[in-house]
C-alpha cells in the first residue's frame, strides 16, 4: 500500500525581513512539504514579491490576513507584531515564533531540536513554540553533549555578535559608515548608540537595573530553560563590525572530569556540530567561513588550568541560519516527523 505524503499550508510573518527571507530559502532548500505558502508583512510591504524557490510570491497584508486553514506559521517580525498576531494565528495553526516575547513563558516550550526535542510536546498547551536567541542557540548546541558527558557546573561566555542580528538597517549602517570613513565623512550613528564601523560596542539591547544588558540576561535565562536550570551562566555580549555570523569564546567548568581531548571527541560525534581544530596552524573557524553554513562550528578546544575540570573553546555560527531560520524550520520538520501537526 502506497503511503500518502502529507503537505502543509505555511504562513511566514515578516517575509520581507532578513530572517523571514531566510526561512523561505531554507524551506525550499530542505524540500519542506509545502502545499501552499502565504508571505505576510506590514501594509507597507503588501503587494511586493518575495522569492520561494523558482517562484515569486506576492506579499499579503498581515493585518487583514485570515489564518484559518493554515497549518504552520513562522513568525519573525518583532515582539510587538507577535504580541498582536501570534495568539490569533495559534487559534488555527502551530506557531513557531522567533521573537523574545514567549521564550520565558512557562507554558510555551523553548526549543533547539538538537538539545531538547522532548519538550516539543508541551506546545499543545498554547499551540506556540518559541525559538531561543541566536547567541543562545549556537552555545547550547555545543554545550548539551558536554553536559550529558560530565555535567556542566558553570559557563562564562563572551560573544562577538554581527550586525545582522539587529536587522537590515544595522547592516546598511555598517556598510555606509565603513564607506564614509574612507571618504573622510563623519559616521552618524543611528541604529546603534555609537559608531559600529571599525569599532566594538559592549552593549546589545537595553541595560537592566543590575548592569547586565537584556541580551546577556537572555543567554543566562534561556540556557537554564533549554539545557539545565542548575547551570550557572555569566555572559558578556559585544556587537562587532561583522555582517553575518556570531562568535563566542566559551569557558566551561564541569562537575566531573572532562579534558579538552575528551570534549573534542564528543563534539566530533555530536549532531549539528563541526569541529575545526588541531589540523594545522590556522585550524579554526571565523565568522566569514561560517556564513551560509547550517552547522555550529567549534575550534580552539583547550584545557583551562585555572579550574579543576574546565575547558575553553571558540564557537561560531551563521546567526541568520542556525541562529534563527534554520532552527525554526528544524522545529517544523520535527513537528511533521512526530505527527504533531493537525492538517486543516
Task: Decide: 312 and 300 in contact? Cβ < 8 Å.
Answer: yes
Query: Is 134 noted as a catalytic residue in this protein?
Result: yes
Backbone dihedral angles phi then psi of residue 211, each to the nearest 5 degrees:
95, -10
> d(Cα 132, Cα 324) in Å, to the nearest integer?
8
DSSP 4: P
What are the residues facing 155 on neighbouring strands?
A: 233, 252
Q: What is the Cα gyration radius of the chain?
A: 20
Q: Is 57 exposed, middle or buried (0-12, 13-18, 19+ CB in 10 A)?
A: middle
- Which residue is catalytic, options 134, 147, 237, 315? 134
Torsion sign, CA atoms 236, 242, 244, 250: negative
C-alpha dihedral over 310, 314, 320, 326, to 10 degrees?
-60
- Which residue is catalytic, options 92, 123, 147, 246? 246
Backbone dihedral angles phi then psi of residue 148, each to the nearest 5 degrees:
-60, -30
> d(Cα 228, Cα 119) in Å, to the nearest integer?
13
> d(Cα 321, Cα 6) in Å, to the nearest integer?
25
Determine what percent of the chain falls in helix, strand and coil, rounding each to the nearest 5.
35, 25, 40
Query: Is 315 noted as a catalytic residue in this protein?
Result: no
Task: Decide: 311 and 304 in contact? Cβ < 8 Å.
Answer: yes
Q: Smallest Cα–Cα separation from 139: which of 310, 267, 28? A: 267
Task: Decide: 237 and 136 in contact? Cβ < 8 Å.
Answer: no
Catalytic residues: 134, 246
Amino acid at each position: 500500500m502506497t503511503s500518502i505524503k502529507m503537505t502543509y499550508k505555511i504562513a511566514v510573518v515578516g517575509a520581507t525581513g532578513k530572517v523571514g527571507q531566510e526561512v523561505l530559502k531554507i524551506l525550499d532548500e530542505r524540500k519542506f512539504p509545502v502545499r501552499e505558502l502565504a508571505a505576510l508583512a506590514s501594509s507597507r510591504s503588501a503587494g511586493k514579491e518575495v522569492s520561494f524557490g523558482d517562484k515569486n510570491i506576492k506579499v499579503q497584508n498581515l493585518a487583514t490576513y485570515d489564518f484559518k486553514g493554515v497549518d504552520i506559521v513562522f513568525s519573525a517580525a518583532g515582539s510587538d507584531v507577535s504580541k498582536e498576531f501570534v495568539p490569533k494565528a495559534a487559534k488555527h495553526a502551530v506557531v513557531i515564533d522567533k521573537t523574545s516575547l514567549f521564550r520565558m513563558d512557562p507554558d510555551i516550550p523553548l526549543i533547539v531540536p538538537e538539545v531538547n526535542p522532548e519538550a516539543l510536546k508541551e506546545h499543545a498547551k498554547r499551540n506556540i513554540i518559541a525559538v531561543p536567541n541566536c547567541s543562545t542557540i549556537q552555545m547550547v548546541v555545543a554545550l548539551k553533549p558536554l553536559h550529558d558527558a560530565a555535567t556542566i557546573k558553570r559557563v562564562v561566555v563572551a560573544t562577538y555578535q554581527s550586525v545582522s542580528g539587529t536587522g537590515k538597517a544595522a547592516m546598511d549602517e555598517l556598510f555606509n559608515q565603513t564607506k564614509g570613513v574612507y571618504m573622510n565623512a563623519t559616521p552618524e550613528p543611528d541604529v546603534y548608540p555609537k559608531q559600529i564601523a571599525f569599532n566594538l560596542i559592549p552593549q546589545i539591547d537595553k541595560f537592566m537595573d543590575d548592569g547586565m544588558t537584556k541580551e546577556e540576561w537572555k543567554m543566562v535565562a534561556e540556557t537554564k530553560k533549554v539545557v539545565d536550570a542548575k547551570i550557572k551562566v555569566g555572559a558578556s555580549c559585544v556587537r562587532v563590525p561583522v555582517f553575518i555570523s556570531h562568535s563566542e569564546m566559551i569557558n566551561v567548568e564541569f562537575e566531573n572530569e572532562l579534558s579538552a581531548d575528551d570534549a573534542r571527541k564528543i563534539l566530533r560525534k555530536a549532531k549539528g556540530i563541526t569541529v575545526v581544530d588541531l589540523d594545522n596552524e590556522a585550524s579554526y573557524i571565523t565568522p566569514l567561513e561560517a556564513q551560509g553554513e547550517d552547522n555550529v562550528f567549534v575550534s580552539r578546544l583547550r584545557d583551562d588550568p585555572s579550574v579543576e575540570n574546565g575547558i575553553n573553546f571558540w564557537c561560531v555560527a551563521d546567526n541568520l541560519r542556525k541562529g534563527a531560520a534554520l532552527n525554526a524550520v528544524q522545529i517544523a520538520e520535527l513537528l511533521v516527523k512526530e505527527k504533531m501537526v493537525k492538517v486543516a
